[in-house]
Structure 1
Amino acid sequence: MWWPLPSFPYPPSKDGFWNPVTSTLNWCEEDYYATIYSAEIVNTLTNLLFMGLGVKGIISCRRNQHDQIFLVAYLGYLVVGTGSFLFHSTLKYPMQLVDELSMIYTTCLMVYASFSYTRPTHVRLILGISLALLSVLITLYYHYIQDPVFHQVAYAILTTVVVLRSMHTMEVTLRPRWRNSREEDRLERQRQGLPVPTKERQHYENVRDMKTLKTMWFMVAYGLSIFLGGFAIWNLDNYFCSSIRRWRRQVGLPWGILLEGHGWWHVMTGVGAYLYIIWGIWLRHCLNGRQDDYHLRWAHFWHFPEVIRTTPISDNGVSRAKKST
């Protein structure tokens, strides 16, 4: 295949520092062609995005005082990126477990965050214990059968559950027709002696929440498109591996890097998962009725968004702004 751009040929594979390979998976990227210290150099370095966004999220959670569950989720996100970095560097089975099982554990944390909100203490306790047991069972069974398909199916089911739950919560919380915005609901709140917003305040909240809902749905569609697009590229990489390896060597370096499908999976799933956590943080503030205390900073869709505090914090950690009713 003729290639018009300047390039240099792929070097031959070498004996690696971490040999022998003990993982149950080995991806389409050729092993140890760039350096003896990294089995799959592109698959390794693309995890730096995961790690960088994990650190960014942890700093943001601490600076903006988001709920602690999201700080733990970002820590899990960082462990996923670090585990994948180590796995693709070494292709060792223990590092494979760190990579793949941390994905399960982090997703279970997000399941807990989605289903435990406003639940009684005993329900949260039961949910936490159940998810912990589920994580242990998945770990033990996966270690027993060592079948990557089992891990992928378990991860897909957990991810689908948490995304669908968050979508439902978002719609019920923010769309005015599902909230207590009708006149009969206002009268019922008055009868019960509960605070009732003025009609002007209710109109402001309806407009604000519809705008938020529109942006959230764009974020969901954008994040899912990136995530599923990465999954599709990864599968094409697996299915057409022999042809893709031949094309890489024909176009040479550095252009062959663009044909590393699993590396694209890292980049795209990293962005998609980051967007999901940002969405979860923003949704939690909406559930807490703190839409006026926080806002989404996202100038362009190619930027990484961040939920930041709008109102300042007093010395005792309480927002100084007063919300009108």
Structure 2
Amino acid sequence: MQWSLPFYPYPASKVGYWSPVTSTLNWCEEDYYATVYSAEIVNTLTNLLFMWLGIKGIISCRRNQHDQIFLVAFCGYLVVGTGSFLFHSTLKYPMQLVDELSMIYTTCLMAYASFSYSRPSGIRVVLGISLAALAIFITLYYHYLQDPVFHQNAYALLTTVVVLRSVHTMEVTLRPRWRHSDEEDRIERQKKGLPVPSKERQHYENVRDIKTLKTMWFMVVYGLSMFLGGFFIWNLDNQFCSEIRQWRKTVGLPWGIFLEGHGWWHIMTGIGAYLYIIWGIWLRHCLNQRQDEYHLRWAHFWHIPEVIRTSPPHVNGVSRDKKST
């Protein structure tokens, strides 16, 4: 008996439960071909990765006592995935706004986390108000224009600024040659009343920070590659939609699912954005001089990384978790 791959022809598009379409965007996936309850079934279900990673990140922040700004960022990440799930299920304009604007708001949160660290309270207040005003402006202007290109450019610009700022902070904080010399660092710590490490301890910290930098740079390159790769596939989906639809009909189901470019965008940007928040968490602990209390659990690049608290915080050799008696 000759064996062949399974082939199921694509059902015809039909009027769905959420018809008519009111969004300003409609992607290359055919509408309502799988079920009347989901306009774009692949684009909808790929957002489950966002939702799962968002919940995982929230639980991790609470369990490992990461800074609250990252808990809020993961909540925003979860809203992005949920909004996109609802948008692609319904293709309704209000759900489109939830999807797209939550991306802007979450990026603004990460911008605040990046630029507000160690700043005086007055500057943090001004920064928070400025970012809130920027988010409101983008919301109102985008609703007025209803032009997806404006949203995409605003999101790309914000993301680029935040990533570049974080990379600069990472290098200046961890790269030994960008810091004071060991002797200058010891004098600086003495002036601030901080414990002065021995030369052996200083050497250990330098080696530790270089190792951390290598892993962080791999995370940055990996995350950016996922973002740019997803963007490239999505653009192919936009440019060659008619041809791709024909290819999907030729190969049939389930193989045509792998030709859903916007679904790959969801998967790849979901991983890239998650990596960015994890990188931000780890970098914040390094800025707080708490690297030895946390470690990155990431055995292989195909695993999901997580910053884990491995020991209670200490101040001058005394655990912060223990109450003085």
Structure 1 residue 97 corresponds to structure 2 residue 100: no
Residues 174-230 of structure 1, C-alpha deviations (whole Å, 9 max, x = no match): 011112333244345546765321101100000011000000000000110011100
Take 1:188 and 1:293, find their aligned partners in 2: how far apart are those partners?
A: 23
> Relative to 1, partners in 2 of residues 1:294 and 1:45: Cα closer, same or farther, differing over 3 Å?
same
Structure 1 residue 318 corresponds to structure 2 residue 306: no
Cα deviation, residue 32, structure 1: 0.3
1:126-205 equivalences under 5 Å are 126-187=126-187, 189-190=189-190, 194-205=194-205
Residues 83-128 of structure 1, C-alpha deviations (whole Å, 9 max, x = no match): 0000000000000000000000000000000000000000000000
What's the counterpart of residue 46 of structure 2?
46
Structure 1 residue 292 corresponds to structure 2 residue 292: yes
Take 1:267 and 1:184, find their aligned partners in 2: how far apart are those partners?
A: 46
1:180-259 equivalences under 5 Å are 180-187=180-187, 189-190=189-190, 194-259=194-259
Residues 233-287 of structure 1, C-alpha deviations (whole Å, 9 max, x = no match): 0000000000000000000000000000000000000000000000000000000
Query: What is the aligned-residue identity percentage?
Result: 83
What's the counterpart of residue 118 of structure 1?
118
Residues 108-160 of structure 1, C-alpha deviations (whole Å, 9 max, x = no match): 00000000000000000000000000000000000001000000000000000
- The alignment yields a C-alpha RMSD, in angstroms, of 1.7
Take 2:42 and 2:169, find their aligned partners in 1: how far apart are those partners?
A: 38
Residues 42-74 of structure 1, C-alpha deviations (whole Å, 9 max, x = no match): 000000000000000000000000000000000
What's the counterpart of residue 279 of structure 1?
279
Structure 2 counterpart SS, 1:307: strand
Take 2:208 and 2:260, find their aligned partners in 1: how far apart are those partners?
A: 43
What's the counterpart of residue 26 of structure 1?
26
1:55-70 equivalences under 5 Å are 55-70=55-70
Take 1:150 and 1:318, find their aligned partners in 2: how far apart are those partners?
A: 48
Aligned length: 316
AA of the residue aligned to 1:227: F
Using structure 2 for the length normalisation, give the TM-score.
Answer: 0.94
Is the Cα–Cα contact under 8 Å of residues 290 and 313 in structure 2 kept in the other structure? no
Take 1:289 and 1:111, find their aligned partners in 2: how far apart are those partners?
A: 21
Take 1:72 and 1:193, find their aligned partners in 2: how far apart are those partners?
A: 33
Q: List alignment gaps of at least 5 residues for structure 2.
A: none
What's the counterpart of residue 87 of structure 2?
87
AA of the residue aligned to 1:109: L
> Relative to 1, partners in 2 of residues 1:211 and 1:246: Cα closer, same or farther, differing over 3 Å?
same
Take 2:61 and 2:311, find their aligned partners in 1: how far apart are those partners?
A: 15
What's the counterpart of residue 323 of structure 1?
none
Is the Cα–Cα contact under 8 Å of residues 50 and 81 in structure 1 kept in the other structure? yes
Is the Cα–Cα contact under 8 Å of residues 311 and 319 in structure 1 kept in the other structure? no
Using structure 1 for the length normalisation, give the TM-score.
Answer: 0.94
Is the Cα–Cα contact under 8 Å of residues 293 and 313 in structure 2 kept in the other structure? no
Is the Cα–Cα contact under 8 Å of residues 223 and 273 in structure 2 kept in the other structure? yes
